[in-house]
């Protein structure tokens, strides 16, 4: 999960939220579906590693994607709903685990639904905020126009009217270096990563 957090954040900043979410779904599915039939310990550890990287990446980047799709006044509500849905999923997992006592069946039941969600590539849009930060204003405007049409709201912006605050477009590697440049931040990161 530690490697998934770092790698997925870097990838989503460089290549986009939508691509990262879909790749994480594929990685999680590859790591979780074959688990029940794995008899080799090394293969089991490798598949669990893949499932951890894909699972944490999917949750984290989907959370960011959902939050970036709404205006600031609705972010608290969207964050609450995203966490509520996750909590409800944990309760459902408890029920499924109660009836599927064998870990093999439980792993299959948890992994197979992700095969269906891989197809949501065709139904979600890239984050307009990410597109604007990358200077792809035409694509961002198209997505915003579709969202405005869906919400029955008038949209009258042109690409030269939209500006993004340059202080929010800091490259990931610069912030990554800043994180690991301070002993205090590294210590806190390691405590959070390995002690929670």
| CB neighbour list of residue 53: distance below 8 Å, 6 or more residues apart | 1, 3, 4, 7, 8, 24, 27, 28, 31
Query: Does the pLDDT of residue 139 top 70, yes or no?
Result: yes
Q: What is the DSSP letter of 102?
A: S
**Which CATH superfamily is 1-124 part of?**
MFS general substrate transporter like domains (1.20.1250.20)
Q: For residues 52 and 30, is the Cβ–Cβ distance under 8 A?
A: no
Work out the average pLDDT over 53-78. 85
Q: For the segment 6-37, what is each residue's pLDDT rounded down to a tens digit?
A: 777 778 888 888 888 888 888 888 888 888 88
Q: Report the pLDDT value the prediction gives residue 196, as an integer from 0 to 100.
A: 54
Q: From residue 42, how far is each of 32, 38, 80, 127, 159 by CA, in Å? A: 15, 9, 39, 38, 52
């Amino acid at each position: 999960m530690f490697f998934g957090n770092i790698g997925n954040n870097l990838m989503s900043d460089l290549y986009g939220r939508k691509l990262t979410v879909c790749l994480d779904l594929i990685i999680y599915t590859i790591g979780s579906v074959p688990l029940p039939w794995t008899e080799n310990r090394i293969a089991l550890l490798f598949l669990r590693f893949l499932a951890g990287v894909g699972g944490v990446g999917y949750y984290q980047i989907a959370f960011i994607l959902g939050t970036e799709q709404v205006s600031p006044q609705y972010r608290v509500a969207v964050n609450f709903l995203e966490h509520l849905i996750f909590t409800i999923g944990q309760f459902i997992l408890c029920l499924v685990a109660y009836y599927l006592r064998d870990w093999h069946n439980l792993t299959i039941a948890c992994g197979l639904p992700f095969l269906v969600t891989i197809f949501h590539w065709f139904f979600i849009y890239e984050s307009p905020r990410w597109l604007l930060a990358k200077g792809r204003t035409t694509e961002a405007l198209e997505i915003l126009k579709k969202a405005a049409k869906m919400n029955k709201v008038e949209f009258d912006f042109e690409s030269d009217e939209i500006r993004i605050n340059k202080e929010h477009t800091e490259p990931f590697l610069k912030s990554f270096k800043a994180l690991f440049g301070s002993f205090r931040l590294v210590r806190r990161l390691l405590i959070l990563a390995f002690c929670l």
